Structure 1
């Protein structure tokens, strides 16, 4: 196969992958919303709590947004909603006067733990019938594309 043909084929496949990722994202948000609705969460709020849970230290909104690949404004709105619900609180940041740190409350930790308890069997059902190698390869491709988009590919 010629080099030009390989490039065209790869370009077409990347385009299809992007479109499928958009469709998958929509379905994941719908399914996630349904999964955590009884916990009075949404997929977006759950995602913010997850980003906070993955961090070893409390972070300001801008850092959470950067880690999630979302806008600071979107995460700020979600953090305020979570604060109103008693799931997070804002604390002084010793490194920055205006960029307060967002910390999970006990209620927030309990809600996140309950969401993750629901997520485990859901993820198991999604993985059923898919080979671990195929899933690992898909993860590697998606991660490589994200890294390229972030400009960290060398």
Structure 2
């Protein structure tokens, strides 16, 4: 087997990765569709949902969502300009303000969450709870492996 040949396990992982990337594209499109009636996008919805858990800074939110801090900052600034979030002082870090939902933000998030619940219930029923829980374990384990590789020191 040459250096560019994959093992059966390598082939299986490549197929898994491609499937997950395709799924991510569909989830983003569906998220945009669910968020659009409230004037939002998937990315803005994610930041609103993170802001629901008051106490996260832009950097915390970016880490939690696996996004670039600069992108989350841009989205948060737009949400603030629309009155959906506000920045509050962070007792742990003077310059890193906390993102907090306003009443308008809570309303928009509640509208999107209601549409998402119907959508998730329908798809969850079609796929089945047990299969979805197994898939979640696999994806979570894969993410953990990537995090371990990033934090491991190079050989």
C-alpha RMSD of the superposition: 1.8
Q: TM-score by structure 1 length?
A: 0.88
Q: What is the aligned partner in structure 1 of residue 3 from structure 2?
A: none
Between the aligned partners of 1:90 and 1:118, the Cα distance in structure 2 is 27
User: Unaligned regions of 5+ residues in structure 2, if any?
Assistant: 1-5
Q: What is the aligned partner in structure 2 of residue 117 from structure 1?
A: 114
Q: Note the C-alpha offset of 1:147.
A: 1.1
Contact 2:85–2:100 (8 Å) recurs in 1: yes
Q: What is the aligned partner in structure 1 of residue 97 from structure 2?
A: 100
Asked if 1:44 is matched to 2:43, the reply is yes
Q: TM-score by structure 2 length?
A: 0.87
Residues 62-85 of structure 1: CA distance to partner in whole angstroms, max 9, x if unpaired?
001111111111111110111111
Residues 6-35 of structure 1: CA distance to partner in whole angstroms, max 9, x if unpaired?
x82222111111111111111111111111
Q: What is the aligned partner in structure 2 of residue 129 from structure 1?
A: 126
Between the aligned partners of 1:149 and 1:51, the Cα distance in structure 2 is 23
Asked if 1:34 is matched to 2:33, the reply is yes
Residue 103 of structure 1 aligns to a residue whose secondary structure is: strand
Correspondence 1:70-85 to 2 at 5 A:
70-85=67-82
Correspondence for 2:55 among 34, 38, 58: 58
Q: What is the aligned partner in structure 2 of residue 23 from structure 1?
A: 22
Q: What is the aligned partner in structure 2 of residue 145 from structure 1?
A: 142
User: Unaligned regions of 5+ residues in structure 1, if any?
Assistant: 1-6
Q: What is the aligned partner in structure 2 of residue 3 from structure 1?
A: none
Q: Where is the strand percentage greater, Structure 1 or Structure 2?
A: 1
Contact 2:47–2:75 (8 Å) recurs in 1: yes
Residue 127 of structure 2 aligns to a residue whose secondary structure is: coil
